[in-house]
Chain A
Amino acid sequence: MNNYHKIFTIATCFTIVFISSCKKDFLNKQPISQGTAGNYYKTAKDAEGGLVGAYQQAFLTDQYWVWDYTTNGDARADNCFAGGDNPDNFAVDNFTTTSLNGNATRDWQGLYQDIYAANIVLDYVPKIPAEQFASNRQAEILGEVKFIRALSYFQLVTTYGDVPLVLSTINTPSKPTRTPAADVYAQIEKDLLDGETALPVSFANVGHATKGAVQALLAKVYAQEGKYQQCLDYCNKVITSGQYTLVPNFVTLFNGTKNTSESIFEIQHSEASGFTTYNVSLYLPAQFGTYSFKKFNLPTNDLVNLYKAQNDNVRLNSSIYQAAVTPDGLAAGDPIPAPYTTASVTVPFLYKWKTNISQFGGGTDNTILLRLADIILLKAEASNQLGQTGAAIPLVNQIRTRVGLPAITATSKDDVALAILNERRMELAFEGNRWNDLLRFGSQYTITLMKAQVDPTGKALNYNITQSKLLFPVPFNEIQLDGNLTQNPGY
């Protein structure tokens, strides 16, 4: 064997040794049984899938739009008592919330999860080549998730004040700081204006956010910012769009009928597994086929009395179920939640969502987030605030006429403002609007009103509400994970 041969043999073996494991992509393994964010979002179909994910996260997974928006919007205000037996809900109702409060924690977390699910679509879908999409679909998808993002930030900024403004899942700063509320509002407006441009007035498949939905939300956002002229403009855009009409009978809105002509945006539910909701399980007594326990968000006697004083039986009976109290408890089968007692003649239950197919989580009614009546009353409010009181009154009466109530008698700007506030209270009870309505009326008004609240026996509740309690605390858990987050004053 000559040297040439030897060297050749050895070289061959070296080659074998080092080629043996050099297969291309040998070390690049990706999940087999699970999608990954980096791999997904490659086609138009993936973009639709991401959009589905964003809707599911915000409107089915997150508890916020099941019942927390009602707890924060109505129980914190004067429409409901916390009910139930959950200390966190009591604290929200009584203004004794701390940074450890479970509701304050999960609302923050849920809304940011909604934003994350929207952001991931906004990160990846623009990178998909436009030619893959039918006509304007790519822009529509981005418009829809911007609606979800804006809706979520609107809840955050009204609930917590300054909040971190995170707009991407990829280039997020580590441990983001809180952004001034004005900047958050600016981003909400920008997202909604983008959505207005991108979205059509309607979709063949109902359930998507439309141009009307972003315009209606924008009207509400402008109102909350005190920008009443822009609010009025956007109310008008919705009202004159020709897409929406008030249903003739108020009852139609809350008897299981889905996607009525009045509906601008509603969460879609059905009997199918995964698409039911559990608000009914939390609100309605056992005679409706729910488990027997102390139910939540009990309407206040104050609200019941308002309906009664106005002879508003249509909206009272469509919104509140009054269960008779027997010497042994509740005829409906549940224990009586505080502050109602066996001394109460009836106990009112929240009754806007009624259809129920199982003991827990069997609600099948859609959840309306935006409807025309809200926008009409908002237009009335904006007109009145802009000095056009005369234009505001017929709008209020339009809503009252539907439920058979006489026209309002108020004429002065201040009286009309109060009449609008009351009308919104009766029309939109439990739909999560009351707290923001009160704050638009004035924080001192809100504080004074809440301090005057009484229990069903007329005893003062003595809520310890101060200016700082108008905002929720930033959750302790989140401050612990992000040391750059500051706490709201008073917590």
Chain B
Amino acid sequence: MKKKLTLFVVILLTCCAFAYAQTSTVNGIVKDDQGLTLPGVTVTVKGTSNAVVTDVNGKYSISVPGTGTLVFSFIGFTSQEQAVNNQTEINVSLVASNKQLNEVVVVGYGSQRKKDITSAIATVSTKDVSARPIVNTSEVLDGKAAGVQVFNASGAPGGGNFSVRIRGASSPNGSEPLYVVDGVVVNNTQSIDPNNIESISVLKDASAAGIYGSLGATNGVVLITTKKGVKGQTKVEVNMYTGKQQIIKKLDMLNSQQYKDLLTDEYTNAGQSVPAYPANFTANNNWQDLTYRTANQSGINVGLSGGTDKGTFYFGLGDLTQDGIINGTNFKRYSLNLSLEQKMKSWLTVGTDIAYNRQDGRTVNDNNSANHGGAVLAALYTPPIVPIFAASGLYQNNIDNSSNPLDDIYANENHYIKNNLLGNIHAEITLPFNIKYRSQFGISLNNYNNDAFTDPLLDQGASQVNGIGSSENNETFRYSWDNTLTYTTTIAQKHSITAVIGTSAIEEKYTDSYLYGTGFPAGVTTLNAASANKSISTYKTDWTTNSYFGRVNYNYADKYLLTASIRADGSSRAGINNQWGYFPAVSGAWRISREDFLKDNNFISDLKLRVGWGEVGNLPQTLYNSYSSLNPAAYLFGGSSASGYNPANPAGNPDLKWESTKASNIGFDLSVLHDRLSLSVDYYDKKTTDFIFPVVISTAEGGSANLKNTNLPGNVSNKGIEFSITGRIITGSDLSWTATLNASFNSNKVSGMPQITDANGNSVDQTFPFGGIAFGGSGNATNLSLVKNGLPLGAFYGYQYAGVDPANGNALYRTAAGTTTATPESKDQTYLGSGLPKAVYGFANTVTYKNLSLDFLFDAVTGNKVFDATRVETEGMYISGNASTAVLDRWRKPGDITNVPAAYYGGTNGAGASTILPSSRFIENGAFLRLKSLSLSYLIKNSLLDKQGIKIRVFATAQNLFTITKYKGYYPEVNTFSGSSQSGGSLGAPSSTAVGIDYGTYPQTKTYTAGLNVTF
């Protein structure tokens, strides 16, 4: 103890630069192999505790005996020793060590050196994306990790509707990974400013994710580490940029005359008279031009960091302003981050990470038909002849009374405010026997407010009720408490053991209130002023989990590695008869390159074989599964209302358990030619069983509580292979080029769904439809996707389009028997493709030439289809809205050979033949290859800046510069069922059963930015 204290004082004194001379002083500068100065390098007099740290300019000064030796050490570089030999100036250039292998990777409840990892873990550092404006967390991962598909489902500002799919879609109840930020399990990533992320580890296989048990680890775990201070490196970093966003393409719609011709055809063919156009329908508006704009985007982030041996700090500020390409939409985020780590005693370290941000924005309705106020479809649907305003001064409605897009945009004030706070306080205590105790208390608070008002002076519907207002407020609060004991030891210098045991508890509380009213006095839009139809509703939920876990890492001579873990999870969300689940995982690795037979070869620098197996779970998405619900009831006795309760859905299922995934992984890591080329290959096989579906039982058995969440015997399997190849292709001192190519191939299949009886008394597989779209604003949704044995999860299911009957213009469909018919039956429906890609690729490059650096990233997906449901509206020719120019090829008279059927108002001709059935006619190839980002940056170098330790980098970036695709809609990376990050709470995640459906989704953007990065 006394010795430690002495050392502590010595370090303290040296840090404070109170080094006092004994014999002579040596000065010098430490640089890296590229000639850049290195701050924070520890310079020690060998065999003593005398040490200093280089300053921001890489300079040091140390007192040393004339015959001593200096040791220069720095993480990530090979230590170097220099004999003093009475020199007074010693400048060194440190060589980067095998960075990749010694890189410390965050794993669940701890960290490991990359070389010790036995499972499939991908890591991404924000250094890889530093020159790009990053709006949301998913962009950090995009294209960077094999087996990880990042999917930005819309171009709405703020970009909250993203989906991250690790090794395919594992469950019909959500395929999003579990997010853990600085050790705190969170329900989404909106609390953190992505510019504040230091690194991300993706635990892809169950042997790595098993330590998170049933918390949703079936879909992998994304561990996010935020920026921290580094001891001895006081640093200020400022990053700012500004840019423009544009719509990638617009769709070609009919002009006024073509539109009128179409309507004449539609009504005439349907045997109806063509409606007279209102007298003021004489405009010639291009509604897409009126809807979309070139939108500004700018951001600034400031990071202040530093530290001493006693503690480190990081302080970050961020400001992002992003206008949307649809008029009226915008997004703002102000963020503040703080990270502190302090060594209070030799045995006690405490720290905190706090992230706060406030977001506000204005949205428009999308993913909805024009009849339901969807602005994107209204911009296509509204014919050019419709004037913007009616004579009344209100926005003009369409013939069928749907709104024009400017009404959707300007008459509907839809504002949200979100306040997000994520923080933790942790303490680490060093105990005897190499045991460390760590306790971390985390909180996460997401506050959401949405105020909507439809202006009675602008909107026809609202004018009849003097305005429609609503206000929703909700809060999701979660706390977690994690405690771990970590024991490390090395026995006989060859057996290294690290063991962790711990507990974790989470409680989440959600509260929501919704207010609604109409009848507003002029000029007031808040609900205190509503005078009619007032309604209120409040709602609360909560849930808890409690877990115990343990893990042992065993390492024999850096050659044989074994990791085994187990987690026991109890959750209030599981049925009370199945509250506890146990999730074991085991993995091993053999570093073949450490064997004697490979030790002396010059070709292979590292070769490791990894094998793993594990089991993880996915808790039910519904919360109170054991309990049968009651709904309020009332009846009149004696003429006055008596209140009570009635049984309601869902019925309780106390036996409900989590969905369970068993997964195995085998892979290897290979580095050759002194790490010039490295390769990782993984094969995985995972199967999710005990699907949770809301199953309906017979009414005799269940009454009005006949819907029960039930584990079904079905399963979904994902099998695939992943490659990641990194080449340091050119490593010259002036010119260098590093490229990483990753590719992953996945096959997804549902099987084992139970049998039910069909209408003919035959036994058939039970199926569950999803992806319901209410076409044309009808009340009834048509389901586009299906969970069915033998097909990928959420496969498109419908009719096979077989062209047009030249005789009568009917749309023809393929029957099960192989013939064609205009009136197919439901048994003729078939598999039409899947929205899940078969392959995902990323190709990242960094080329530097002197001070110039070029980064470019390609990404691609193949094998996926998109159901372009927008085209049902723009090419269905069954409604009074406008259509795309594709319908100019429609059938018009007997003998016409075309692929576009005749126009029929209502979509069916007299004989019941439908022209708008969900069919392969509207399904397109969703594959694309795009230049996701291209960034050129230049490091301004001059002696003055160097002297002050100032680095200035200017950059210009283009995102989505080009995309090669056959997709006919706005953009193939699209999903109407993407959930919404805007409503708080854990639920509302992107759908995994309705993927790749495009129905009036906010289009993606092309972005150009220029910026400046200053570090000193």
Contact = CB atoms under 8 A, between A and B. Distances in A.
Interface residues of A, number: 80
A117 B647 contact: yes
A1 B432 contact: yes
B505 A53 contact: no
A120 to B, nearest CB: 5
B702 interface: yes
A482 B637 CA distance: 37
A309 B636 CA distance: 40
Nearest to A275: B636
A175 B628 contact: no
Contacts of A268: 635-637, 639
A51 B481 CA distance: 45
Interface string B690-716: 000000111111111110000000000
B735 interface: no
A207 interface: yes
Interface string A51-87: 1111111011100000000000000000000000000
A116 B439 CA distance: 50
Contacts, number: 230
A113 B706 CA distance: 9
Nearest to B755: A483
Given A17-B485, A21-B503, A169-B703, A31 B627 contact: yes
Contacts of B627: 30-31, 36-39
Contact of B647 (A20, A52, A120, A205): A120
B112 to A, nearest CB: 21
Nearest to B487: A10
A116 B702 contact: yes
Contact of A483 (B538, B701, B757): B757
Contact of A37 (B432, B628, B639, B699): B628
B703 A20 contact: no
A217 interface: no
Contact of B698 (A39, A175, A275): A175
A488 B536 CA distance: 48
A491 interface: no
A17 B639 CA distance: 60
A56 to B, nearest CB: 4
B701 A52 contact: no
B572 interface: yes
A134 interface: no
A35 interface: yes
A33 B540 contact: yes
Contacts of A50: 644-645
A205 B638 contact: yes
Interface stretch (A222-230, A409-417, A472-480): A472-480
A38 B502 contact: no
Interface in A146-180: 163-164, 166, 169, 172-176
B757 A37 contact: no
A31 B636 CA distance: 28
Given A38-B628, A49-B644, A485-B698, A207 B757 contact: no
B642 A52 contact: yes
Interface stretch (B491-499, B542-550, B771-779, B994-1002): B542-550
Given A112-B703, A175-B701, A53 B646 contact: yes
A164 B700 CA distance: 7
A472 to B, nearest CB: 14
Interface in A10-41: 10, 13-14, 16-18, 20-23, 26-40
A479 B704 CA distance: 17
A264 to B, nearest CB: 16
A56 B635 contact: yes
Given A57-B704, A115-B703, A10 B435 contact: yes
B572 A29 contact: yes
B646 A27 contact: no
Contact of B701 (A18, A174, A476): A174
Contacts of A482: 697-698, 700-701
Contacts of A186: none
B503 A10 contact: no
B572 A28 contact: yes
B987 interface: no
Contacts of B634: 52, 56, 274-275
A351 to B, nearest CB: 24
Interface in B757-780: 757-759
A407 interface: no
B90 interface: no
Contact of A52 (B431, B481, B502, B644): B644
A6 interface: yes
A15 to B, nearest CB: 10
B426 to A, nearest CB: 14
Interface in B607-649: 623-624, 627-647
A112 B706 CA distance: 11
B630 A40 contact: yes
A270 interface: yes
B70 to A, nearest CB: 36
A26 B624 CA distance: 14
B504 interface: yes
22 contacts: A9-B432, A20-B505, A21-B505, A26-B507, A31-B629, A33-B538, A36-B629, A36-B630, A37-B629, A37-B630, A40-B630, A50-B644, A52-B634, A52-B637, A60-B635, A108-B700, A115-B703, A119-B703, A120-B703, A163-B700, A169-B647, A268-B635
Given A38-B652, A52-B634, 8 more contacts: A26-B507, A27-B544, A37-B629, A100-B759, A113-B704, A169-B647, A270-B636, A480-B756
Interface of A: 1, 6, 9-10, 13-14, 16-18, 20-23, 26-40, 48-57, 59-61, 100, 108-109, 112-113, 115-117, 119-120, 163-164, 166, 169, 172-176, 203-208, 268-270, 272, 274-275, 476, 478-483, 485
